[in-house]
Amino acid sequence: MKIDKVYVCASTMECIASLIDNASVESSRYFLSRRTVLEMLADRGYDVVQHANLTSSLSDFRSRFGQQPNHEALGFCVSHLSNPSNTVQVAFAGTDAIKMGTVMEICSRIVDSGNLKSLIIIVQSKITSFAQKKLMNLPYKVEIIRLPCMLKTDVIARYYGLEKGQVVKITHSGPVVDSHVTYRCVA
pLDDT tens profile 136-151:
777 666 666 677 888 8
**What are the residues whose beta carbons fall under 8 Å from the beta carbon of 13, sequence distance 6 or more?**
none
**What are the residues whose beta carbons fall under 8 Å from the beta carbon of 143, sequence distance 6 or more?**
118, 119, 120, 121
Low-confidence ranges of the chain (pLDDT < 70): 1-23, 53-55, 97, 113-128, 139-145, 176-177
Read off the pLDDT of residues 71-81 as tens digits, 9 standing for 90 and up.
888 888 888 89
Please tell me what DSSP assigns to residue 118. Answer: E
CB 187 within 8 A of CB 148: no
Rounded CA gap, 88 and 97, in Å? 24
State the pLDDT at residue 1.
Answer: 43
Residue type, 178: D
State the pLDDT at residue 120.
Answer: 64
State the pLDDT at residue 144.
Answer: 66
b/e for 68-106, b at 16 or more Cβ within 10 A? ebeeeebbbebeeeeeeeebeebbbeeeeeeeeeebeeb
CB 128 within 8 A of CB 140: no
